[in-house]
Amino acid sequence: MKYKRILLKLSGESLMGDKDFGIDNNRLKSYANQIKEIHDAGVQVAIVIGGGNIFRGVQAEEGGMDRTHGDYMGMLATMINSMALQSALESAGVQSRLQSAIEMKAIAEPFIRRRAMRHLEKGRVVIFGAGTGNPFFTTDSAAALRAIEINADVILKGTRVDGIYTADPEKNPDATKYDMISFDDVYGKGLKIMDMTAFTLCKENNLPIIVFDMDTPGNLKQVVDGEQVGTIVRN
């Protein structure tokens, strides 16, 4: 096992599966089973999930809503997804804890770093909801921040694409995939992986990012075993 403690970043859109909105229960179950597989192998797992399948603060701003207000609504959307994933994990027999950056006593613990690390050491999956708790920060930034706080070995960014390409592979059939790329090269080539705040946090704290296809069952296990799946970004 190459990585002992990971932070898995999932987009809210990935939970939609083939739907146009909301949560696809089959996709949710598939993710829970993949997470269970690495958890049962002894990997300590923390998760941050976006809320784009339900609501995005940026969309609210485009519609004339105050950006701060929209971002808080987006944080609540991440809590809905986090609760759904927690339920799916527990149905699969995996103990989990949900911690929120915004206090919600009835449904989640507050984010407390030491408590989160203790949960991980006890073999519980920890889901971090509500982003950073601050507007103007994405869930990518929340993932980078929490990964650094809990001393994760790596951020695993699960997407529908199997890595980082020279161009968008869905639009350009000639695009080629990188197996490994440096943070500086990503900057230089203008490749879009995470927002700049999240990306800079990872670079400055020497935290590698692996971008891989989460929708293919078995990929997550291969990544934590150190097999060449997806693209690794490192200093």
- Each residue of 205-218: pLDDT tens digit? 999 999 999 999 99
Query: Which residue range forms the structural domain that includes residue 173?
Result: 5-234
Cβ atoms of 112 and 100 within 8 Å: the answer is no
CATH number at residue 11: 3.40.1160.10
Which among 137, 135, 138 has a CA at the least distance from the CA of 157?
A: 138
**How far is the C-alpha of 39 from the C-alpha of 77, rounded, in Å?**
26
Number of structural domains the chain divides into: 1
Summary mean pLDDT of the chain: 95
pTM (2 d.p.): 0.95
Residue for token pair 């197996």: 179
CA distances (Å), origin 43, targets 46, 149, 181, 221: 10, 17, 25, 10
- Residue 158 carries which side chain, given as an amino acid letter? G
Q: Output the CA torsion sign for 85, 90, 91, 94.
A: positive
- Each residue of 147-202: pLDDT tens digit? 999 999 999 999 988 999 998 887 888 899 999 999 999 999 988 889 999 999 99
Residue for token pair 């891989």: 212
